[in-house]
Structure 1
Amino acid sequence: MALTFEADPPAGPSLASGVLSLWADVSNAGGAVGFVPPVGVDDIRPQWLTHLAAMAEGRTRLLVGRDEDGRIAATVFLQRNTHRLMTHWIWAYTVMVHPRHQGKGYGRELMAAAAAHARTFDGVEAIRLTCRGGTGADRFYASCGYKEVGRVPGAIRVAEGDDRDDVIMLLPLL
């Protein structure tokens, strides 16, 4: 069954609970979404509040995918680039699909929905994201049409002695 997508859902306890639970579950399953397991919702909450503030200011937009039970099963945050010479592209952050739904094509659905949503932004011609090397995420994004445009070796320190590349990818929307 396909996900149902909602752009800019109303903020509130239900949204917070759904996103925080998803984020913790993805992180604890080894997902490269800014945390290293073990992590709980209280560890993630400060980052959620940062995203929430950016959403309230209109700098960031949230796209959620809900499963057949109405639970938040996928997210992507889309943030405008504020540099005056780079407003023609946006950032995609915190791309997540719940581990129980992986392998069902939901990640591909999420990325297609994110691209469709980004096309509604005035003047936006591309989506840029970064991903942690060594996870296979770069291959997944490439299969969704993203091109690797840069790589910073060892930029992400997952643990002592475990440094990963920061892979920069771009999806032209035109």
Structure 2
Amino acid sequence: MSLTFTLDPAVTPALRDGILDLWTDVSNAGGAVGFVAPVERETVRPELVRHLVQMAEGRTRLLVGHDAAGEVAATAFFSFNTHRLQTHWVMLYTVMVHPRHQGKGYGRDLLAAAAEEARAFDGIDAIRLTCRGGLGLEHFYGSCGYKEVGRIPGAIRVAPDDDRDDIIMLLPLA
């Protein structure tokens, strides 16, 4: 069964807690979403609050996927450029699928839904995202149509003596 995607859902306590649980579980399963395992919910909470504030300010939009049980199973956040020369592309970040749903094609479904939504945004020609090197994520995103357009060697320090590349990917929407 596939996920049901909603753009800009009402931020209820259940949604907030669902995203917090998702983010914590993805991080603890080794997902590259801004934290390194082990991580506690209370460590993730301030970052989620920042995302929610940006949503309230209109700078960020949320795409959420719910599974058949109604649980938050996937998310992606859109961030809009404010620089007048870069308003034609959007940044996609905190792209997550719950570990219990991995291997079901939900990651591809999430990226396809994100592309569909971005095509409807006024004046957006492309989606940009970054991913952490060393995990093969660039191959997954590449298989979904994204192209690697840049790489910053050693930009992400996940532990002492463990620096990873920050890989920049782009999906043209035309």
Matches of 2:45 and 2:8, distance apart in 1: 19
Residue 4 in structure 1 maps to residue 9 in structure 2? no
Secondary structure in 1 matching 2:30: coil
Partner of 1:48: 48
Residue 128 in structure 1 maps to residue 128 in structure 2? yes
Partner of 2:36: 36
Q: 1:12 Cα shift? A: 2.1
Partner of 2:75: 75
Partner of 1:89: 89
Amino-acid identity (%): 69
Matches of 1:103 and 1:97, distance apart in 2: 10
Letter paired with 1:35: F
Q: Which runs of 5+ in 2 are unaligned?
A: none
Q: 1:15 Cα shift? A: 1.0
Q: Runs of at least 4 residues of structure 1 off by over 4 A?
A: none
Secondary structure in 2 matching 1:119: helix
Matches of 2:41 and 2:7, distance apart in 1: 23
Q: 1:46 Cα shift? A: 0.6
Per-residue CA deviations over 1:24-74 (Å, capped at 9, x if unaligned) read: 000000000000011111101111111001100111000000111010000
Matches of 2:23 and 2:109, distance apart in 1: 18
Partner of 1:118: 118
Partner of 2:164: 164
Matches of 2:34 and 2:169, distance apart in 1: 17
Relative to the length of structure 2, the TM-score reads 0.99
Matches of 1:66 and 1:121, distance apart in 2: 22
Letter paired with 1:6: T
Relative to the length of structure 1, the TM-score reads 0.99
Partner of 1:59: 59
Secondary structure in 2 matching 1:166: strand
Per-residue CA deviations over 1:65-86 (Å, capped at 9, x if unaligned) read: 0111010000000011111100
Per-residue CA deviations over 1:117-140 (Å, capped at 9, x if unaligned) read: 111110000000000001111100
Secondary structure in 1 matching 2:120: coil
Residue 153 in structure 1 maps to residue 153 in structure 2? yes
Secondary structure in 1 matching 2:128: strand
Q: Which runs of 5+ in 1 are unaligned?
A: none
Matches of 2:119 and 2:54, distance apart in 1: 20
Matches of 2:67 and 2:12, distance apart in 1: 19
Partner of 2:140: 140
